[in-house]
Amino acid sequence: MRIQKINKVKKKLGILTVVSALLLGACSTDFELNGDWKETMVVYGLLDQSQPKQYIKINKAFLGEGNAFEYAQVKDSVQFANALTVTLRRIKNGNEIASYNLTQDNSIPKDPGTFYSGSQGNAIYSFVSTGSTALNDDSQYKLIIRNSETGTEVTAQTSLVKDFGNLVSPSAGATVASLIGSSDNYRYALKFNSAPNARIYQVVLRLNYVDLTTTGNVNDSIDWIFTPKETDDLDGGQELDFGFKGQDYMRFLGSSLSDYSGLICRIPGNLKIVVISAADELSTFINVNKPSTSIVQEKPEYTNITNGLGIFSARYYKTPFNRPLASQTKDTLSKGRYTHCLKFLGSSGTWLGATIPCN
């Protein structure tokens, strides 16, 4: 891990600047804030063998005289010209066994904002990772980016996060009937064992549904995002428990969804459990960049990019559970105290909460 204590250096430079001004103030009043220009690549990339395509985002860091917001809107300030060669090398047991060239990818548009938002240009590079070019979790991957015009080269390396296998609970063939128990304190079990190279896990509970409206049907979904959990080590095999109370989930749905003009009813669909795991470097990057909760706002800067800034790491995206709701859960959605005003259809195909007053 490479953490740069930039703010401490700034303090030392600040003291030196004050002393120099006192000693030399009589000689000159000129002060040059910006030093000589230095090329700095900012790289963001997460390899995920569960996805058919891999993306690497590459930008410039910039500093200049005048308004920085105006610089940010100039393409040459934040993006490189057509001069980058981006290569990903597969390394196994210390030997390079494959190499993949990434090409410019303009398929993902950039939202307008502070930074340049015209053509993506070469801000994003990608390659298709299926078939013979599929990523393999028995190897490490080294990223090499070279600017042919300046000779600048940055590198980074990561291992892949392995698949954790099946859920311990619920089982693969389970329904979602047990999501709702007879007691408010009933706890729905959601457990699995960590995989090698995974440091942090996040679980998302995704309910798919269809809104029947006066103007047509609308397919939609809602995510309940759990607080991430870190593993004790990178060996794998640690049991992680993301269990929750079914009534807490119903309370979440009741506060997040609402009735609206034109909504006739809602048809509940499948409930998905999505598990996202991330490697050690990405976990560190996330933790370092969390908002400070102390009076001291000074924070270190973390990067694992050699000769550049950013993060190159790995994650793994998996949906180990995707099942329709059982009758009991559908009926609770339709007439439960937190959700009866949302117009969900029950197991009988009718809105069971229609006669219950809505606050």
Pair 65, 135 in one domain = yes
DSSP 255-323: HH----TTEEEEEEEEEEEEEEEE-HHHHHHHHHTSPP-SS-----EE---BTSEEEEEEEEEEEEEEE
> CB of 313 within 8 A of CB of 279?
yes
Residue 9 lies in a domain: no
> CB of 255 within 8 A of CB of 342?
no
Residue 284 lies in a domain: no
Pair 49, 130 in one domain = yes
Pair 125, 194 in one domain = no
Pair 214, 111 in one domain = no
Pair 181, 227 in one domain = yes
Residue 187 lies in a domain: yes
CB atoms near residue 80 (< 10 Å):
21
Pair 140, 257 in one domain = no
Residue 153 lies in a domain: yes
* Domain boundary pick from 100, 134, 160: 160
Pair 233, 119 in one domain = no
Which of 358, 314, 312 has its CA nearest to residue 339?
358
Q: At 328, phi and psi to the nearest 5?
A: -60, -45
Residue 169 lies in a domain: no
Pair 148, 59 in one domain = yes
Pair 198, 327 in one domain = yes
Pair 151, 60 in one domain = yes
* Domain boundary pick from 160, 194, 225: 160
pLDDT tens digit sequence for 118-154? 665 558 899 999 999 999 999 999 999 999 989 999 9
> CB of 250 within 8 A of CB of 331?
no
pLDDT tens digit sequence for 264-320? 999 999 999 999 999 999 999 998 888 777 676 666 789 999 999 999 999 999 999
Specify the pairing of strand 309-324 against strand 191-193.
Answer: unpaired
Q: Cα–Cα distances in Å, from 220 out to 130, 136, 244, 269?
A: 29, 34, 23, 10
pLDDT of residue 358: 87
DSSP 131-148: GGG---TTSEEEEEEEET
Q: Quick check: pTM over 0.85?
A: no
Residue 23 lies in a domain: no
What's the CATH code of the domain at 76? 2.60.40
* Domain boundary pick from 160, 195, 213: 160
Q: Tell the residue number behind the tokens 């938002």, with chain if given.
A: 117
pLDDT of residue 33: 47
Residue 241 lies in a domain: yes
Pair 149, 252 in one domain = no
- Give the chain's domain count: 2
Residue 232 sits in which domain range? 177-279+318-335
Which H or E run includes 207? strand 200-213
Which of 351, 175, 185, 193 has its CA nearest to residue 266?
351
Average pLDDT, the chain: 83
Q: Does the pLDDT of residue 173 top 80, yes or no?
A: no
> Which spans in the chain are helix H?
6-24, 68-72, 75-78, 246-256, 280-288, 327-335
Pair 145, 225 in one domain = no
